[in-house]
Structure 1
Amino acid sequence: MTAAQPAQADRHPYDRPHLLDRPHHDGGPMHVPDGVPGLGDRVPVRVRVPAAAAGALGDDGVVVRVVRDGEPRYAVARPDGHDDVDAWYVAEVEVHNPVTSYRFLVADPRGARWLTARGLTARDVPDDGDFRLTVHGRAPAWSRQGAVYQVFPDRFARSPGAAARPVPAWAEPADWDAEPAAHGARTGRQLFGGDLAGIEAHLDHLERLGVDVLYLTPFFPARSVHRYDAATFEHVDPLLGGDDALVSLAAAVHRRRMHVVGDLTTNHTGASHEWFVRAGADPAAPEAGFYHRDDDGFVGWLGHASLPKLDHRSAELRRRLLEGPDSVVGRWLRAPFELDGWRVDVANMTGRHGAVDLAHAVARAMRETLAQVRPDAVLVGEHFHDASADLAGDGWHAVMNYSAFARPLWGWLAPEGWSLPEVPMPMPRRGGAAMVRSMVDFASRVPWAVTAQQWNLLGSHDTARIRTRLGDPALVEVAAGLLATYPGAPMVFAGDEYGATGVNGEHARTTMPWARPDRRDERTFAAYRSLLGLRRDARALRDGGLRWVLATADAVGYLREVPGERVLVAAARGPWSGVVLPAHLAPSGAVQTLHGPDLTHDARGIRVPGDGPFVGVWRLA
């Protein structure tokens, strides 16, 4: 052993030119059978080891460690075929607990190494990075395999009937082409007049873009344009066209074989909500127990008195809001509205206040109602940081994936000193290896079944626009390429496909430029359309596992694989050295370019070019 070897052994696995010379396992169908196991099932899990290393392993060189009732147990994996590239080993994992964790121990001349969802390590590592099997049902296929389009109704499109509706006293009418306010009280009062009929009139745009799921931010009556301060959960805001407009929109969406998801605040209501009005007027009313109180009176979400916080210790609140077909959660999933699921606002705070923590109970209650009313509905939580403690799989199907996708990607592509509103200092620009480490670290803490159905995003109505954050349209295309090809469902905020700008969440709530071709970046639209379309044509991009193959400062890449199909994705934020990947990735020599530059492929390997910025997607035969 040379003096350099210990340092090499201690290098992080994502600091290497390419990452194909190490054992690999993920939750995709190449390694784990598709489907949801039941308690007592024995699931074969397969791991691949590079053939060059496998020769020294023998038949007992891979061990699986399964945690059963909190106690680790070990078993030798058996050989399961090999070729000139990989040797495969398989072991059976008994699903004894609802979430069953496992990892592999792989023999090595320098000492056995752990293989977990966090990667290969030469030291002991915590269990929170283990692979996991879960008996909890997955999100419906339409949600995890499709593309989601977020619409902020006031800013998407006006129907001809919008002008005739009375303007409420709290609102400030705005011209459609005016710039949204970025700060101050006006952000919630600027009424541009978009409505549900306007959305219905532009469903052709959604189909042309290639999205499958329409996600609407709240449509309940309120005293703001964002409507997260609901005044009732019983009706659709008349400013949006009322109940009939939602019935019509949902039916039109469904006729196109698309789905529609609503947005619900289970953490708070508005101060004008009928429940809160009754709670304040009569201490003996049932609604008086619906809200948290302290010595100063009712508790407001983050101190905002206009957003009183719901107290889920109230059985009557849970009955009305969460539980059963007649609850708020249930009735909007039923005819005549027939929503296909809910996105839940500030899901990370729902049910939590001081010593009270009912967050998981709230999520499970909602999930049970979905199972009763609409078993193929989806439940997605809003969560801006590490959501792993809330994603065992029995509550939220998934979350809006800021921590494991958006924020690492921003840190790689944005210029030095980029900002987050909640962080009081500029953020650094990080290299590709750091981005990959963050993505792997966060994803390793949840079951693969959850990773494969997360709602990934580049921005939303709560963040700066991706075009403003990155500046360069070429970098926006890089970001969109990773969004469209990464495990999970890509979510596009309406307007991003046309290059909309905005410095923060409020300023980002721009109107769609239907009558302003000068505000539409057609090159960006074409890139989004092309990239989202790849998911329809390549099963590997919808259902495949994830194997990182490249993580340098300025370029990253990964494989998505299912039996019979392998897709390579590579992205560069600027010029870099390029890399030659092993020729065996395309043993027949055929490489089909799906997006981006062509590759050079010969007996020496597959040459990924050193140009940039670019994103490339290739099917390897």
Structure 2
Amino acid sequence: MPELDLQPHHDGSALYVANQRPKLGDKIKIRIRIHNSIGKLKQVLIRQSESGQSTFSPALKPLIHRHGWDWYEGILAIPNPEVNYRFFLEGTSGDSFWLNATGLHELDQPDRDDFRINVHNNVPKWATGGVLYQVMPDRFSRSTKADDREMPAWAEPKTWNSAVKTRGSGVNEQFFGGDLKGIEDRLSHLKKVGVTILQLTPFFPAGSSHRLDATSFDQVDPVLGGNSALASLVSKAHEAGIKVIGDLNLNHSGEAHEWFASAFKKPAALESEFYYFSEGNFSYESVRANEAQPKFNWGSGEIRKRLVEGKASIIAKSLSAPFQLDGWMLAAAGAIGKNRIDDYNHQVLNLVRETMNSSNPDSLLIGNFGTDSGAQTQGDNFSAILSYANFTRPTWSWLWNTKQNKEEAKIGLGRKAISGDQFRQAHNCQSGTTPWHLRMHALNALDTYETGRFKTFAISGSQRVAAGLQFTFPGIPHVYAGDELGLDAETGEGSRTPMPWNGERETDPHMIETYAKLSQIRKHHRALAEGSMRWLYSSDEAIAFVRESKTESVLVIAS
């Protein structure tokens, strides 16, 4: 087996796949590079799927020989909307290899690990090369207008410099009063970081500060400034060259939601079909047996119309005037429409995509997955993904500080660090089979508003290394507000500490310069936004890879 830097390579980038947006029936040129250290080859073939069967191509011809590398080119047919393929290399001495999305193998491999290409590339061009910034409105910035608003009944008021309660009862009721106008007033900060996409966490009325338990979808929460504040923020952000994405939970509502209140113990109510009620509507299915989060029943045609289908739906209205959002992130995307024997997931996600295409074809749909998203992210609905499995967990595990005993939250890690080589393997395993147009738009998050902060659990000083990986890996850097200030937090609630605009909390004053510089580097090197990724080296302490396009190569070393 050749050394890592000399192994044959192919990926879905334009360097290897000529047509990045193929159509059904197309025949496209694809390439593979093979170093002569592998030995003399008898033939190189493409094996691809075709209507449920596999077929081999004619032998590929070497086109270019450069610095010990032979570049072979062949034709890949697109007979179906989704096509799997791999390469077969046969040596003159009788040995053979398979190259698939997880790497080079001497034995035959399962089809699930093939390279994948499809006809569903609907990613808006503005997303490629973007930098996303996640903001929780209640904790980002408080405008002067916030003082004039009545607090919701559930709220426990806090001053901006109050300590955040991080565990136990009452954590979700902490109310700091940040609002949408406060975010608008801080758009210059986002520009300094290099942000091009602002992702807001939920902003509909709810019974908590995180607003994952919506009580209505008919308006923006008045305590955040209401509909007019969202419209103003989006307008000002657009003037600054920043797109704005909302966050929508289609898996469940809050138990205080107006639809649920209309149907609970009232079987005759129209909204009764929106949930999974028992006889008499006295009990119901909920998320992980949490009665505060009754689960939606997507078998209902009416709930589809209200939320995701047609011009009158929440999805459609949000992308139109006066709001004109640029897209949505769907929370718990893998759970939407699934309950016991019911599985409406694909139907619902496709309806969301169809409605978004009708309302704004240039919009971005992001799926938020806590685990492996491979089976649900082949590109026919989502145009970007947030999956902790392909970047977040491997990065935490590699740079994990084994000398600390803090309690990590919602990351799902053991207490043992992994090697750089294991990091490489984990990333390849979780991302290799994702179609390239989705892999280019996977959100590379160190942390989010649902986790503790990476910095808190990592080796001292390693946040800059991790941020470097965020900005140089295939995908979109996902920066959670406060990372650029070097904030600490052990839990998800702790990470929701208000932004210390006036020195309320300890920060790293130089960290923002790191993020700003990385944004500029990424902006000026298109290979980092859309180029191929080829591994060169991995050991316990270091990794190296190169991002390549037709015009440049960018070498990245992390240790």
Whether TM-score is above 0.5 comes out as yes
The offset of 1:181, in angstroms, is 1.3
1:136 to 120, 129, 141: 120
Task: Report the CA distance shift for 1:281/1:244 in structure 2 as closer, same or farther (over 3 A).
Answer: farther
1 CA distance for matches of 2:173 and 2:548? Answer: 48
Supply the AA of the counterpart residue of 2:516: R
**Pairwise mapping of residues 177-196 of structure 1 onto structure 2 (< 5 A)?**
177-196=161-180
The offset of 1:513, in angstroms, is 0.8
For structure 1, the residue ranges without an aligned partner over 5 or more in a row are 1-8, 573-621
**Pairwise mapping of residues 262-341 of structure 1 onto structure 2 (< 5 A)?**
262-280=246-264, 282-294=266-278, 297-341=283-327
Q: Which residue of structure 2 aligns with residue 89 of structure 1?
A: 72
Q: Which residue of structure 2 aligns with residue 78 of structure 1?
A: 61
The offset of 1:223, in angstroms, is 1.2
- Contact 1:103–1:116 under 8 Å retained in 2: yes
Q: Which residue of structure 2 aligns with residue 606 of structure 1?
A: none
Q: Which residue of structure 2 aligns with residue 411 of structure 1?
A: 397
2 CA distance for matches of 1:424 and 1:259? Answer: 31
**Pairwise mapping of residues 90-129 of structure 1 onto structure 2 (< 5 A)?**
90-108=73-91, 109=93, 111-129=95-113
1:165 to 149, 160, 168: 149
Task: Report the CA distance shift for 1:520/1:341 in structure 2 as closer, same or farther (over 3 A).
Answer: same
Q: Which residue of structure 2 aligns with residue 534 of structure 1?
A: 521
1:543 has 2:525 as partner: no
Supply the AA of the counterpart residue of 1:36: R
Q: Which residue of structure 2 aligns with residue 461 of structure 1?
A: 449
The offset of 1:567, in angstroms, is 0.3
Name the SS for the 2:463 alignment partner. helix
- Contact 1:51–1:84 under 8 Å retained in 2: no
Name the SS for the 1:522 alignment partner. coil
Q: Which residue of structure 2 aligns with residue 375 of structure 1?
A: 361
Name the SS for the 2:532 alignment partner. coil
1:45 has 2:30 as partner: yes
Name the SS for the 1:546 alignment partner. strand
The offset of 1:421, in angstroms, is 3.5
The offset of 1:440, in angstroms, is 0.4
1:354 has 2:337 as partner: no
1:439 to 427, 451, 458: 427
Name the SS for the 1:246 alignment partner. helix
1 CA distance for matches of 2:527 and 2:163? Answer: 41
- Contact 2:411–2:451 under 8 Å retained in 1: no
- Contact 1:51–1:82 under 8 Å retained in 2: no
For structure 2, the residue ranges without an aligned partner over 5 or more in a row are none
2:14 to 16, 29, 34: 29
1:507 to 475, 488, 494: 494
1 CA distance for matches of 2:130 and 2:19? Answer: 18
Task: Report the CA distance shift for 1:144/1:419 in structure 2 as closer, same or farther (over 3 A).
Answer: farther
The offset of 1:518, in angstroms, is 6.3
Q: Which residue of structure 1 aligns with residue 132 of structure 2?
A: 148
- Contact 2:115–2:435 under 8 Å retained in 1: yes
Supply the AA of the counterpart residue of 1:229: D
- Contact 1:418–1:426 under 8 Å retained in 2: no
**Equivalent pairs, count:** 553
- Contact 2:449–2:480 under 8 Å retained in 1: yes
1 CA distance for matches of 2:497 and 2:407? Answer: 20
Supply the AA of the counterpart residue of 1:522: P
2:479 to 473, 492, 500: 492
2 CA distance for matches of 1:161 and 1:276? Answer: 32
The offset of 1:404, in angstroms, is 0.6
2 CA distance for matches of 1:475 and 1:32? Answer: 35
Q: Which residue of structure 2 aligns with residue 365 of structure 1?
A: 351
- Contact 2:19–2:29 under 8 Å retained in 1: no
2 CA distance for matches of 1:426 and 1:145? Answer: 33
2 CA distance for matches of 1:368 and 1:519? Answer: 46
- Contact 1:154–1:193 under 8 Å retained in 2: yes
- Contact 2:13–2:20 under 8 Å retained in 1: no
The offset of 1:281, in angstroms, is 5.7
Q: Which residue of structure 2 aligns with residue 237 of structure 1?
A: 221
Bigger CA drift: 71-80 or 249-258?
71-80
Give the TM-score taking structure 1 as reference length.
0.87
The offset of 1:517, in angstroms, is 7.5
The offset of 1:51, in angstroms, is 3.6
1 CA distance for matches of 2:110 and 2:136? Answer: 41
Q: Which residue of structure 2 aligns with residue 607 of structure 1?
A: none
- Contact 1:144–1:454 under 8 Å retained in 2: no
Q: Which residue of structure 2 aligns with residue 616 of structure 1?
A: none
Q: Which residue of structure 2 aligns with residue 399 of structure 1?
A: 385
2 CA distance for matches of 1:425 and 1:226? Answer: 24
**1:44-88 Cα shifts (integer Å, max 9, x gaps):** 11000114446x22xx52111011111111121122221233111
Name the SS for the 2:319 alignment partner. coil
Name the SS for the 2:199 alignment partner. strand
Q: Which residue of structure 2 aligns with residue 608 of structure 1?
A: none
2 CA distance for matches of 1:424 and 1:459? Answer: 13
- Contact 1:155–1:509 under 8 Å retained in 2: yes
1:206 has 2:194 as partner: no
1:481 to 468, 471, 491: 468
**1:368-403 Cα shifts (integer Å, max 9, x gaps):** 011100111111111111110111211222321210
Name the SS for the 2:6 alignment partner. coil
1 CA distance for matches of 2:194 and 2:171? Answer: 31
1 CA distance for matches of 2:265 and 2:105? Answer: 61
1:226 has 2:210 as partner: yes
Q: Which residue of structure 1 aligns with residue 49 of structure 2?
A: 67
**1:564-612 Cα shifts (integer Å, max 9, x gaps):** 100011100xxxxxxxxxxxxxxxxxxxxxxxxxxxxxxxxxxxxxxxx
Name the SS for the 1:348 alignment partner. helix
Task: Report the CA distance shift for 1:110/1:185 in structure 2 as closer, same or farther (over 3 A).
Answer: farther
- Contact 2:409–2:452 under 8 Å retained in 1: no
The offset of 1:110, in angstroms, is 5.8
The offset of 1:424, in angstroms, is 8.3
Task: Report the CA distance shift for 1:36/1:244 in structure 2 as closer, same or farther (over 3 A).
Answer: same
Bigger CA drift: 516-525 or 35-44?
516-525
**What is the Cα-based RMSD across aligned positions, in Å?**
1.6
The percentage of counterpart residues that share the same residue type is: 38
**1:337-395 Cα shifts (integer Å, max 9, x gaps):** 00000011111111011001111111111000111001111111111111101112112
Task: Report the CA distance shift for 1:418/1:20 in structure 2 as closer, same or farther (over 3 A).
Answer: farther
Supply the AA of the counterpart residue of 2:270: P
Supply the AA of the counterpart residue of 1:39: L
Supply the AA of the counterpart residue of 2:321: A
2 CA distance for matches of 1:251 and 1:367? Answer: 23
**1:123-158 Cα shifts (integer Å, max 9, x gaps):** 111111111111002321222320000000000000
**1:273-312 Cα shifts (integer Å, max 9, x gaps):** 1111111263222211000124761212111111111000
Task: Report the CA distance shift for 1:284/1:127 in structure 2 as closer, same or farther (over 3 A).
Answer: same
2 CA distance for matches of 1:372 and 1:178? Answer: 45
